[in-house]
């Protein structure tokens, strides 16, 4: 993959003499999900502020698509359209009298035509689930809504890269998972994502690559398994291992697990503990079916009838638009985050599940189910309810499929 961002030997010290970055050289490939991980004071936030020119290095250089960043007004405006940043504290980013004006601020300053500003603001607000909030004052929003509004303000500028400083800070667990799921959907749509966090559990399960930082430098870079598998290095960075890795290591020490490869999720942990004898005992046991429906194609007035025809034991909703569809149609939703793995666990127990998701996430659901089946040897039957699907389909009238624009 092509390099989209790069730093070469950058150094930076704040006005009081505090050295924040020391000889940091890093390449970011397009389309990846990168997590900068480290304790407070590691230099994560400072490095992120370098990526779109908010801070200028004392030495070294920053490149976007192999072109060196210049720091004149015209060049900075151009790079900040392509590399957008969402700050840790949403109140630092939301300052206009209304949500619409806040989201429109970037496109207006980029001199988008008025009609394009209106169209892109509407698209961004719909994407993050804030349609209808245009006239609300930002300070009347909840913490999760403020985070969504801040993300919408960046989306409206059509960035190639999105940088988020501590994206789940001060959010409740369910909202945090929904924000990370939204970032997954953006990544599947082609955006490069960079987050900073000291939440090792989040970074472990989410990132394609982890950059471990300490005292302004990079200790190690690699896959989540490689970085967090080095327990001594993680402790040297004043962090703890991800909970699932810590638990797995304790099970290995007690002889209850084999210790081959740490799991990345509860699903993988359960599989590793099941062992050969248990797996043989459940061979041939009834498995449930996972039905997957593209909520973007589903007519709202037919949603409940579809749910009734499928008659699933559990229903999950992935993505903002799918959750809005379920809410408008008054469909009971059992899972709103961690949906795919939860449905796989239920299928292994013989229960059927319906997953409502967006067009952008359809492939991710099928890919995860297929990958699990290949890795575990368990055949999980999935049925694609989308129109024009080449996969196995349920005999459901195609009148259910159509175009639906949420209000």
Nearest to 164 by CA among 180, 178, 177, 175: 180
Domains of the chain: 3-243 (3.40.50.300), 289-386 (3.40.1010.10)
pLDDT of residue 254: 87
Token pair for 308: 């009734």
What three-state secondary structure class fits 27?
strand
pLDDT in tens, 234-251: 999 999 999 988 888 888
Looking at residue 145, what is its pLDDT? 93
pLDDT tens per residue, range 120-172: 999 999 889 898 999 999 999 999 999 999 999 999 999 999 999 999 988 88
Whether 281 shows a pLDDT value over 50: the answer reads no
For the chain, percent of residues with pLDDT exceeding 70: 92
The pLDDT tens digits for 199-227 are 999 999 999 999 999 999 999 999 998 99
3-state secondary structure of 211: strand
Q: What is the model's pLDDT at position 402?
A: 37
What rounded mean pLDDT belongs to the chain? 86
> Which contiguous run of DSSP H or E holds residue 85?
strand 83-86
Average pLDDT, integer, range 360-382? 84
> Which is nearest to 34 in space by CA: 165, 169, 146?
165
Q: What average pLDDT does range 8-27 have in this prediction?
A: 94
pLDDT for 276: 45
- Residue (of 145, 150, 158, 153) closest to 104 by Cα position: 153
- Rounded mean pLDDT of 39-44? 92
């Amino acid at each position: 993959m092509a390099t989209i961002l790069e730093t070469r030997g950058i150094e930076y010290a704040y006005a009081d003499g505090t050295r924040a970055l020391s000889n940091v050289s890093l390449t970011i490939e397009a389309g990846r999900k990168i997590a900068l991980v480290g304790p407070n004071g590691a230099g994560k936030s400072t490095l992120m502020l370098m990526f779109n020119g908010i801070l200028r290095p004392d030495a070294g250089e920053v490149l976007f698509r192999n072109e060196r960043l210049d720091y004149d007004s015209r060049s900075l405006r151009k790079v900040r359209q392509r590399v957008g940043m969402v700050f840790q504290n949403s109140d630092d980013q939301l300052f206009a009298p209304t949500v619409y004006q806040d989201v429109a601020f970037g496109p207006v300053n980029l001199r988008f035509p008025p009609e394009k500003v209106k169209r892109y603001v509407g698209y961004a607000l719909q994407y993050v689930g804030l349609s209808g909030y245009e006239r609300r004052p930002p300070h009347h929003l909840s913490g999760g809504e403020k985070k969504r509004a801040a993300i919408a303000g960046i989306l409206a500028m059509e960035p190639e890269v999105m940088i988020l400083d501590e994206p789940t800070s001060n959010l409740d667990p369910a909202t945090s998972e929904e924000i990370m799921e939204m970032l997954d959907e953006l990544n599947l749509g082609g955006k490069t994502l960079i987050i900073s966090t000291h939440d090792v559990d989040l970074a472990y399960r989410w990132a394609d690559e982890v950059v471990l930082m300490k005292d302004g430098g990079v200790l190690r870079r690699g896959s989540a398994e490689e970085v967090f598998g080095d327990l001594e290095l993680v402790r040297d960075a004043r962090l703890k291992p991800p909970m699932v890795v810590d638990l797995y290591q304790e099970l290995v020490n007690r002889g209850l697990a084999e210790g081959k490869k740490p799991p990345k999720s509860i699903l993988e942990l359960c599989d590793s503990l099941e062992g050969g004898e248990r797996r043989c005992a459940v061979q041939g046991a009834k498995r449930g079916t996972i039905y997957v429906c593209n909520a973007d194609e589903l007519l709202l007035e037919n949603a409940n009838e579809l749910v009734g025809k499928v008659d699933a034991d559990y229903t999950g909703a992935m993505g903002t638009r799918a959750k809005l569809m379920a809410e408008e149609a008054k469909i009971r939703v059992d899972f709103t985050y961690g949906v795919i793995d939860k449905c796989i666990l239920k299928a292994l127990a013989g229960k059927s599940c319906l997953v409502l998701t967006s067009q952008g996430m359809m492939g991710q659901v099928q890919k995860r189910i297929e990958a699990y089946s290949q890795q575990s040897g368990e055949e999980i039957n999935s049925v694609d309810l989308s129109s024009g699907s080449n996969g196995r389909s349920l005999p459901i009238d195609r009148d259910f499929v159509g175009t639906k624009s949420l209000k």
